[in-house]
Amino acid sequence: MDQQALWNNIHMEGKHSAFSRTPSEFAQEVAPSFPDHAKIIELGCGFGADAAFIAQQGCAVIATDLSEVAIARNKQMYSAIPGLTFQVVDMSNGTLPFQTDGFDGVYARLSLHYYSDKVTKQLFQDIHRVLKIGGRLAFMCKTTNDPLYGKGTQLEEDMFDNEGHIRHFFSEDYARSLLVGYRIERLESQRKNLYGKLSSFIEVIAQKNQ
C-alpha cells in the first residue's frame, strides 16, 4: 500500500488518537534540551500534541507530516498557538526542504523508521545539514527487539512489510552509525507500552558538533 494513503487512512479513522491528545513522555523529556526561542523542525508530527507542547515552551516549531489529513486537522486544532506551523513533507527521497544550518533542533518520534537503509542514511545526512552547529537531534525508533520485528515480508535487512505497514527496525549499533558528526548525549533502549501494546524502541539525543 502507498504509505501516504496508509497514514491518511490511519488519521481519518482516528487510530491512536486516544493516545495522542497529550504530549508524549519523550517530548516532555526532550523539550528542556532546546534553547530559549529555538527554531525546531518536527519530522512526523502525527496528531500534533508534541509539536504543540514544544511550541508552548517558547520554541518556533515547523511540524511536518506525510499525511495531508493530519496536517489539515492540526492546522485547525492548534491555530491559536503562536510560533507553530504545519507543513506536508514527504521524506521518502531522503531530503528535507529546509535551509542549511537553519535550525536549533530536529525532533522525530517514531517517524524515521520507515525507510530503506539507503534512504535512512541520506535522511540523517540531510538532518545534519539543516541543524546548526550545537543543534540537537532527538529521535525515537522501534528496535530489532520489538515484538513486530520479523513479521510480514522482509524487504531488506531489519525492514519488513507487515500488511502494508513498512517498518525499518534499528539496533543500537545502527543508530550510532547514523550519528557521525554528533556528540551522543543519550542513546538507550526502552521496553514499555506504546499505544496500548508492548513495544521496544531506542531514544536518542545527540548534539551536532561538526
- Per-residue pLDDT tens for 27-39? 999 999 999 899 9
Which residues on adjacent β-strands are paired with residue 172?
A: none
The C-alpha cell of 68 is what?
Answer: 495531508
Split at pLDDT 50, 70, 90, the class of 10 is low
Ordered by where they begin, the domains of the chain are 3-208 (3.40.50.150)
Split at pLDDT 50, 70, 90, the class of 7 is very low
How does pLDDT run across 95-145, given as a tens digit for each residue? 999 999 999 999 999 999 999 999 999 999 999 999 999 999 999 999 999
Identify the weakest region by mean pLDDT among 31-40, 45-54, 189-198: 189-198
So what's the pLDDT on residue 83?
96
Identify the weakest region by mean pLDDT among 17-31, 145-159, 192-206: 17-31
How does pLDDT run across 51-92, given as a tens digit for each residue? 999 999 999 999 999 999 999 999 999 999 999 999 999 999
Which residues on adjacent β-strands are paired with residue 34?
A: none
So what's the pLDDT on residue 197?
86
So what's the pLDDT on residue 80?
95
Pairwise CA distance, residues 162 & 167, whole Å: 8
So what's the pLDDT on residue 194?
82
Split at pLDDT 50, 70, 90, the class of 9 is low
Split at pLDDT 50, 70, 90, the class of 11 is very low
So what's the pLDDT on residue 6?
59
pTM for this prediction = 0.92
